[in-house]
């Protein structure tokens, strides 16, 4: 795919290209691992994959002859019959569609969501193989073209965002992918014409905790092109948690780790150490709450932090200062500091960990 020469000069991407070469070399050395089996109730960590199911753990049984399980068993059979029809007809439905087929029977959306996850785990197949999709909340923009499952051709632009697709069949390349934690920051970068200035690139946001479609798209881009992927999150425990979900996955979806996680993701910012380095005024910082401190302590105890010493150092800086900062704190330096100075310098000089 050829791009118009509207981005920075080729030399700007020299460090990015070196980073991509190192990622490809790691893949050739055998960074992947076969999928494990188990249940959704426990997980183990593997650096090249993320959080995965363990082979032996406590399981939950649902019996058809037990009064306590009869309703749940009936609902599982109901949804299995709907999945069978979807697969047979080669059509797709959203979780919301399934819920609305019989709202009185299911009671609430969470019941449907839980059963679909149980079925996916029980059959050991990704949810999309059940022909069940989720409504996307994420947005994507930049130098990307793809074909949706129904054959619709979509061409993203650098000026406006489109919803993250639920199922794509063909995509075309970009230089790097930037995952932005919050929609407000994502929209500000669009307003500042960041994608055009850094073209060719792609930006995506899950608007906070990412939904399944956003994670699947990030994984698809990595598997297809092996382009460098960076995260831009707030310098707070919640932002770090979101970054960990993209990179290493979550306990609840550990049975789909190989389809969702991208351990090659790097943290681009905002670093707790950036607060002091950039002389961000103290009155723009926010004290850590008790819940923040508990979340930070929890992350520091996780197995993947042991193989990320630079992450640990940044989190320890946050714990010692007892302060956090949002990305918007950079606007005190200048209104466009994030898109004009901070991100370009980080990308050009390899300022990621």
Q: Which residues have a catalytic role annotated?
A: 100
Neighbours of 352 (CB within 10 A): 19
Q: Which residues contact 30 (CB under 8 A, 6 or more apart)?
A: none
d(CA 215, CA 200) in angstroms, rounded, equals 21
- Bridge partners of 269, per DSSP, are 232
Q: Which residues contact 63 (CB under 8 A, 6 or more apart)?
A: 69, 73
Task: Provide Rg for the chain, Cα atoms.
Answer: 21
d(CA 324, CA 292) in angstroms, rounded, equals 9
d(CA 143, CA 162) in angstroms, rounded, equals 12
Neighbours of 214 (CB within 10 A): 26
d(CA 148, CA 171) in angstroms, rounded, equals 9
Number of H helices, E strands in the chain: 15, 15
Q: With contact defined as beta carbons under 8 Å apart, do 182 and 234 qualify?
A: yes
Neighbours of 281 (CB within 10 A): 10
């Amino acid at each position: 795919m050829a791009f118009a020469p509207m981005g920075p000069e080729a030399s700007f991407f020299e460090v990015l290209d070196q980073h991509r070469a190192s990622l490809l070399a790691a893949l050739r050395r055998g960074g992947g691992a076969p999928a494990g089996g188990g249940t959704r109730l426990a997980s183990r960590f593997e650096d090249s994959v993320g959080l995965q199911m363990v082979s032996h753990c406590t399981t939950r049984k649902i019996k058809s002859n037990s009064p306590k399980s009869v309703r749940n068993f009936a609902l599982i059979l109901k949804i299995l019959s709907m999945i069978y029809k979807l697969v047979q007809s080669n059509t797709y439905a959203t979780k919301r569609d399934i819920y609305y087929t019989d709202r009185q029977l299911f009671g609430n959306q969470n019941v449907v969501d839980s059963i679909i996850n149980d079925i996916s785990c029980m059959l050991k197949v990704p949810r999309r193989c059940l022909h069940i999709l989720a409504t996307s909340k994420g947005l994507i923009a930049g130098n990307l073209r793809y074909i949706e499952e129904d054959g619709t051709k979509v061409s993203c632009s650098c000026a406006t965002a489109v919803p993250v697709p639920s199922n794509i069949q063909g995509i075309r390349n970009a230089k790097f992918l930037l995952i932005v934690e919050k929609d407000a920051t994502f929209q500000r970068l669009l307003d500042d014409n960041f994608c055009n200035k850094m073209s060719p690139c792609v930006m995506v946001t899950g608007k906070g905790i990412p939904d399944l479609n956003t994670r699947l798209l990030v994984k698809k881009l990595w598997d297809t092109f092996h382009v460098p992927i960076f995260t831009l999150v707030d310098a707070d425990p919640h932002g770090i948690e979101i970054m960990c979900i993209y990179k290493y996955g979550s306990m609840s979806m550990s049975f789909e780790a190989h389809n969702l996680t991208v351990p090659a993701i790097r943290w681009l910012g905002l670093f707790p150490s950036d607060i002091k380095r950039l002389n961000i005024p103290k009155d723009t910082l926010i004290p850590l709450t008790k819940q923040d401190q508990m979340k930070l302590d929890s992350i520091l105890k996780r197995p993947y932090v042991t193989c990320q010493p630079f992450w640990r150092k940044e989190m320890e800086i946050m714990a010692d200062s007892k302060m956090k900062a949002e990305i918007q704190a950079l606007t005190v330096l200048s209104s466009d500091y994030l898109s004009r100075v901070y991100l370009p310098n980080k990308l050009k000089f390899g300022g990621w960990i």
